[in-house]
Structure 1
Amino acid sequence: MANVQGYVNDLSETFDHKLAVASAPQKSNALSNKISTVLSASYADSEIREALRTLDEKSIKNSAETRRKLRLDVQKEVIERNGDIIKDFGHVAEQLKRIGTTINSLNKCCEDMGEHIAAARQENAPVLEEASTLLGQKQELETKKQLLDAFNKHFIISEEELLVLMTTSEKVDEHFFAILKRVKQIYVDCQVLLGTENQRLGLELMDQSSRNLNTGYQKLYRWVQKEFKNLNLENPQISSIIRRALRALAERPSLFQSCLDYFAEARERVLTDAFYAALTGSSTENDQIPMTKPIEFHAHDPLRYVGDMLAWTHSATVSEREALESLFISEGDEISKGFQAGRKAEPWSAADGEVFDGLKVLGHLVNRNVAGVSRALRQRVEQVIQNHEDPVLLYKIANLVNFYRITFAKLLGADSSLLETLSSLEDSSLRQFRTVMSDTATSIQTDLTILPSDLRIPDFLDEALTQFAALMKSYDSSLTPASSRTADFEPILSQALNPFLTACEKLAKETEEPVTSIFLANCILAAKTTLSTYDFVQPRISDLDEQLASLSSTLTEYQHAFFLHTSGLHPLLVALASLDDSPDSLLKVPTLPTFQQQPLRDASQTLDDFLPSALMDAIQNLRGLSSMKLAQEITVAAAERFCEDFEFVEGRLGRVDELREEKGTEEEDGEGESDEEGAKEGEEGEDGEKEEGEGEKKDEVPLRSLFPRTSGEIRVLLS
């Protein structure tokens, strides 16, 4: 590049020199055009740069001679290079000729080989055709063999497997169920063969599979029956093979139902024998000693005897249900699925089309298993009911049976025969209870005696209330719904309480007040005390409260009358009650016999003698009442009414005195005018008028001075 740069610089200097020399216009412009072309070339042009780089690689010295020979040297070098290229192409052409010769040789060799191959193919064509046919036949035979092997493996049962499926000497195990499952699958798959052209094969295989299945199910049926005979449901680990056998046997509903019937009969015998063993300690099938004491030996109380039998029955039923659940209730409802599949095999066994319900069948089976226990239980409980006449015991037995009836309803459902037995026992107990109570009430009605001297409740009511308290306690512990407790207990009220209260009312009718009211009040108070503990008798307590209020009102009237008559206020009150409030009517009061001076003084004295011990005397009238609080309330109410009556008398007497005083004042004014006009009369006339005036003043003594007690004093003395 340094040489090229120097060459460019020299060229520029030469150009400048020539330009200076030829300042005037030249005749020929060839040189100027050439120089312009050179100078117009840019170094940035790629061709110029490439040319300059080539010159630089040749290491040409920048001199005038070299610049003159540069064109010739370049053309010479181009010619030499072209010669070398032509020489190299000559070698290539020679090699191509050799290759062409070789290719011709190969083509000739290939033609010869093709002729030999065509001849060999013509000779071997029959052999190849025969070999191809044999290979196709071989492939077809291999395919048929594979199909036959697969068919035999899938549709044909071996003799060993048939022995396991049919022979009773072979045990029922997992291998048996695997074979049974395979035979069922064969029977199902044979239906596919019926859709092919060879239906005979499908029919034969289906017939054979059906016979094998029936034989297998018969073996399974007999094995299940044998196992049921020795099955111990108390064992928490019941064999899984039995459960699987039942699920498989469900595909034959008739055999399955037959097994259930056999099982129910066997379990009924076992449970009935166990019930007798629990009662007596001895068994009909063995002489084993029971683990616990026999019920009949230690349950001397009838209620406990019945309760122990019911408790044993409940425990046995729960255990039976739990054990059967593990047998017949499975995850995925396998028995139900098998039952549905079995209907297709036995359409005559499911004519009703009812869907198999495992829980329903389980409840029905448990109910059948405890049928024998139910009969024995009914017989013994009825004996207890018929042999006892204690109403409390009978009602407690009814409530106990009701409790277990509700419990068994949740366990077995509403259609259980055991529930019918318990309902019958409950009705029988209540019927005996009503009979005993009716007989007791009848005997009381016919044997009524006189009232007790102290007016306490009679002995028959005391006993009845004691019994009734026991009945309410028993009823309160029952499972009767809260919404119907009051209504359901109403018959017991009418049978165990109302007849005795009616007898007390009949007994009280033979006496007079206040004995009648005090006696009935004592009876009602005792009944209220007994009933007040329980909510379900609140309506009856309200009725008793109303009766007691009526009796209290009667006793209040009696006490009020006692206050009026004993105090001497009654004549005054009666005399004043017949008059109205007009002045003319009130001015007649002093003329009445009751309000004359001496009778009024006597009434005042009688009142004074009565007041100090009035309350004590009044309460003494109610000494037979069992509630001192009620006696005080009645007396206080009567005393209040007496005070109101006294205020009425006091007010009327005060009003009479006021009216008399007003009238006296008017008469005195009138008498003064008469004295002035008759001042000239004689002394005898004056003496007579004085005596007459003194007599009138003497008759007009104020009534309040004769009857001085005030209502305030009365309230203080009676408080």
Structure 2
Amino acid sequence: MENRPDGLVKPCFSISNRINKFLELGSENEKDTIEALRELSTFYKENTTNDRHNLRSKIEKRNLSINEEILTAFKDVKSILDNMHKDVVGMSECVQSMTNRLQTTKSQTTQLIEQASKLQYEKNKLIMQQEIVSAFIRTFQLTGDELVILHGSSRKTPINDDFFTVIDRVQVIHSKCRILMQSGHQTLALDIMQRMTILQEAGLERLYRWTQTHCRHIENDKLVSLLTKAMNKLQERPILFKYVIDEYCTSRRSVLVSSFIDVLTLGKGYSNDSNPIEMHAHDPKRYVGDILAWLHQAISLEKENFLILLSHCNKSAISEQISESLSNITEGLCHPLKSRIEHIVAVEAPSTVLYSVTMLIRFYQLTLKTVIQNSVLDMMFGDLIELSEKSFISRLQRETRMALGERAESPSTDLIPVPSVSRLLSLLNEILSVASIAEDRKKDTLQIVSCIIDPLLQEVNVTASRLPTVDMAVYLLNCMHQIHSTLALYEYMDQRLERLQAQSDAQIDTLTSEQASSLVAHLNLGAIYNILLQSHDQRPLSSIPGMDALSIKEFTNKLETFLVMPDILLLPQISLLQSSNHRINVQRRAFEVIGAIYKQLYEACHESKNRYQNPDSLFSFTPEALLKMLFTH
């Protein structure tokens, strides 16, 4: 309830409704309400009736005051905005002016930009072309320094590894021109190839002159590497290559001859402490051996140097060149070497020494043949071998004649071979001991044996022909035995030994015949044997004179006595046989003759037709027992 101006109490229905309405408001409006009330509290101090009646006017006044303040503030803002507008308008005008000017400038510079783009394109194109040309020049042309290295502007420009690098590059460029031709640039490729060919020829000409000058110094280790590379390059030009090889061979031939003379006279061999070879000229074997040993070493060294010189060359193309060049190099040694060896084989040296010299020459020819085959030196070795062989054979024949003497020696009473036989067999042993290591030992052995044994056998036969039959047979057998024993030690003597054995068998037959005849005579068996041979009539043997039982008993008694000491009836010369086999063989064969006659007599006496009374009493033993007893002795 509130008091109304008229004094009436007016119900506060509207206020409660408002309060209720306020309370019904949501929380979203609470903040605004609280803020409004807080603002209201700033000027609404007292809650009087008058203040309540004037609240609306105060609020309106305050709202008006606030709006005026806002208006004033907006006036300032407006003034600022107006100024800003003026500035923006001014800026717009400037921008428009600049835009107009830019458009004008753009229209004016479009052509310039297009021209600049074209120029930039041309520049890039030229740069690319420059790089291509530079790469082409680097690939297909030599630099100034390379041309100087290749041509050698002065003598101070040496041949070194750089030169071979340049010459290889020239060859590579020449090869690449084929690819250039395939790409369609035939004219350019041909021009470059012609240029490279000229440069290559000039470089090889210079290399040829340098190599020809320096190939003499193959022992210089510093030059060897360059020389081997130079020969590899010059191999592409066969004529220049051959000229260099010829120059090298000429130089080495002179050096080799000089070294040979030095080693002969000064002793400057491959070993520093060697003595001059001429100091041993009195010893042919050592002299020739030292010369040929030095030659072998020198040729081996020359071959090694030559192979080093051509070490980078095509091996298949230089195989024949090696043999030809070594033949050329060693040709200068032929005359001094041949003259010295000819002098050695011509001196009065023993045949054993001459044969040793021949063996040395053969050995070194065979050793060097693979290196100097078909060369002048090889042919010289052949001539020396032929000469030394002739000299050896001549000397051997002379020594054989000297050993045999002008007149044949007569054997002593013991019938042993004369001293000349032993001397010649000793010489044969000495020579054949050397021949056993020879390459051609069969030919040498047969020739040497023929030179000594044939005259020896002839001399033995001449000597034996002066002796009685038995002495001759014994002497010949002794000589044959000694010769046979010597030859049996060596190869290739089968035919010679067979002939000696046949001659010995003939002499054994002679001795057997003589020995058997002697035994038959001493045993009085001759008459009985003749009767047995001639008993062709019908008369019984017992009735023939000399074949009666008493004669036969007399024979068997002598035979028994002979069996006690059979050596008594042997010829004294049989004991002089040097070979026990010969003695046994002669005795056995002679006893076999006696045994055969005894057997024939024994069988004849036991035949009934011969009418012997009690034939067993005539014989003390059978033929088999007789032979057993004879052979037992």
What is the TM-score normalised by the length of structure 1?
Answer: 0.65
Using the aligned pairs only, state the percent identity: 23
Query: 2:331 is matched with which residue?
Result: 371
Give the distance between the partners of 1:120 and 1:558, measured in 2 at CA: 160
Which secondary structure state, in structure 1, belongs to the residue aligned with residue 535 of structure 2? coil
Query: 1:360 is matched with which residue?
Result: 320
Contact 2:549-2:612 within 8 A present in 1 as well:
no
Q: Which one of the candidate residues 642, 665, 673 is aligned to 2:594?
A: 642
Query: 1:390 is matched with which residue?
Result: 350
Letter in 1 for 2:129: K
RMSD of aligned C-alpha atoms?
3.7
Question: Is 1:248 aligned with 2:208?
Answer: no
Question: Is 1:214 aligned with 2:201?
Answer: yes
| Cα-to-partner distance string for 1:613-644 (whole Å, 9 max, x where unaligned) | 43254262323322134212321232233223
Contact 1:457-1:523 within 8 A present in 2 as well:
yes
Letter in 2 for 1:475: A
Question: Is 1:315 aligned with 2:297?
Answer: yes
Contact 1:619-1:632 within 8 A present in 2 as well:
no
Which secondary structure state, in structure 1, belongs to the residue aligned with residue 314 of structure 2? helix
Q: Which one of the candidate residues 545, 551, 573 is aligned to 2:501?
A: 545
Q: Which one of the candidate residues 617, 625, 631 is aligned to 2:583?
A: 631
Alignment of 1:50-199 (within 5 A): 130-131=115-116, 133-167=118-152, 168-190=155-177
Contact 1:165-1:179 within 8 A present in 2 as well:
yes
Q: 1:135 to 1:707 in 2, by over 3 A?
A: same
Give the distance between the partners of 1:429 and 1:202, measured in 2 at CA: 68
Contact 2:446-2:492 within 8 A present in 1 as well:
no
Question: Is 1:716 aligned with 2:609?
Answer: no
Query: 2:611 is matched with which residue?
Result: 659
Contact 2:264-2:277 within 8 A present in 1 as well:
yes
Query: 1:50 is matched with which residue?
Result: none
Which secondary structure state, in structure 2, belongs to the residue aligned with residue 622 of structure 1? helix
Query: 1:518 is matched with which residue?
Result: 474
Give the distance between the partners of 2:594 and 2:400, measured in 1 at CA: 43
Question: Is 1:490 aligned with 2:446?
Answer: yes
Question: Is 1:427 aligned with 2:409?
Answer: no
Question: Is 1:300 aligned with 2:213?
Answer: no
Q: 1:633 to 1:601 in 2, by over 3 A?
A: same
Letter in 2 for 1:160: D
Letter in 1 for 2:629: V
Q: 1:636 to 1:223 in 2, by over 3 A?
A: same
Q: Which one of the candidate residues 575, 578, 595 is aligned to 2:547?
A: 595
Give the distance between the partners of 1:121 and 1:543, measured in 2 at CA: 136
- Aligned-pair CA distance for 1:302: 1.1
Letter in 1 for 2:421: L
| Cα-to-partner distance string for 1:593-627 (whole Å, 9 max, x where unaligned) | 32257755664565466444432542623233221
Contact 1:566-1:610 within 8 A present in 2 as well:
no
| Cα-to-partner distance string for 1:72-113 (whole Å, 9 max, x where unaligned) | xxxxxxxxxxxxxxxxxxxxxxxxxxxxxxxxxxxxxxxxxx
Give the distance between the partners of 2:628 and 2:187, measured in 1 at CA: 123
Query: 1:325 is matched with which residue?
Result: 307
Contact 2:542-2:610 within 8 A present in 1 as well:
no
Give the distance between the partners of 1:578 and 1:277, measured in 2 at CA: 92
Q: 1:452 to 1:238 in 2, by over 3 A?
A: farther
Query: 2:362 is matched with which residue?
Result: 402
Which secondary structure state, in structure 2, belongs to the residue aligned with residue 563 of structure 1? helix
Which secondary structure state, in structure 2, belongs to the residue aligned with residue 370 of structure 1? helix
Letter in 1 for 2:275: K
Which secondary structure state, in structure 2, belongs to the residue aligned with residue 251 of structure 1? coil
Query: 2:214 is matched with which residue?
Result: 227
Alignment of 1:577-616 (within 5 A): 577-579=533-535, 585=538, 587-596=539-548, 603=555, 606-607=558-559, 610-616=562-568
- Aligned-pair CA distance for 1:709: 7.2
Give the distance between the partners of 1:463 and 1:160, measured in 2 at CA: 85
Give the distance between the partners of 2:286 and 2:445, measured in 1 at CA: 24
Q: 1:119 to 1:217 in 2, by over 3 A?
A: same
| Cα-to-partner distance string for 1:379-418 (whole Å, 9 max, x where unaligned) | 21111112235333222222222222221124x1633333
Query: 1:93 is matched with which residue?
Result: none
Q: Which one of the candidate residues 370, 373, 381 is aligned to 2:341?
A: 381
Number of residue pairs aligned between Structure 1 and Structure 2: 527
Give the distance between the partners of 1:251 and 1:279, measured in 2 at CA: 41
Contact 1:329-1:359 within 8 A present in 2 as well:
no
Give the distance between the partners of 2:407 and 2:121, measured in 1 at CA: 122
- Aligned-pair CA distance for 1:244: 1.8
Letter in 2 for 1:157: L
| Cα-to-partner distance string for 1:278-320 (whole Å, 9 max, x where unaligned) | 222267xxx9995301122146321121112111111222222
Give the distance between the partners of 1:567 and 1:709, measured in 2 at CA: 17
Contact 1:281-1:290 within 8 A present in 2 as well:
no
Letter in 2 for 1:230: H
Contact 1:385-1:432 within 8 A present in 2 as well:
yes
Query: 2:408 is matched with which residue?
Result: 449
Contact 1:444-1:503 within 8 A present in 2 as well:
no
Q: Which one of the candidate residues 403, 420, 423 is aligned to 1:463?
A: 423
What is the TM-score normalised by the length of structure 2?
Answer: 0.73
Query: 1:572 is matched with which residue?
Result: 528
Q: 1:492 to 1:202 in 2, by over 3 A?
A: same
Which secondary structure state, in structure 1, belongs to the residue aligned with residue 429 of structure 2? helix
Q: 1:209 to 1:594 in 2, by over 3 A?
A: same
Q: 1:151 to 1:238 in 2, by over 3 A?
A: closer
Contact 1:264-1:369 within 8 A present in 2 as well:
yes
Query: 1:66 is matched with which residue?
Result: none
Letter in 1 for 2:326: V
Alignment of 1:665-704 (within 5 A): none
Gaps of 5+ in 2: 1-101
- Aligned-pair CA distance for 1:467: 2.2
Letter in 1 for 2:585: E
Letter in 2 for 1:224: T
- Aligned-pair CA distance for 1:452: 0.8
- Aligned-pair CA distance for 1:193: 5.5
Which secondary structure state, in structure 2, belongs to the residue aligned with residue 535 of structure 1? coil
Give the distance between the partners of 1:475 and 1:603, measured in 2 at CA: 60
Give the distance between the partners of 2:162 and 2:184, measured in 1 at CA: 35
Gaps of 5+ in 1: 1-116, 338-355, 662-701
Query: 2:82 is matched with which residue?
Result: none
Q: Which one of the candidate residues 272, 278, 282 is aligned to 2:257?
A: 272
Give the distance between the partners of 2:239 and 2:455, measured in 1 at CA: 61
Query: 2:458 is matched with which residue?
Result: 502
Question: Is 1:436 aligned with 2:395?
Answer: yes
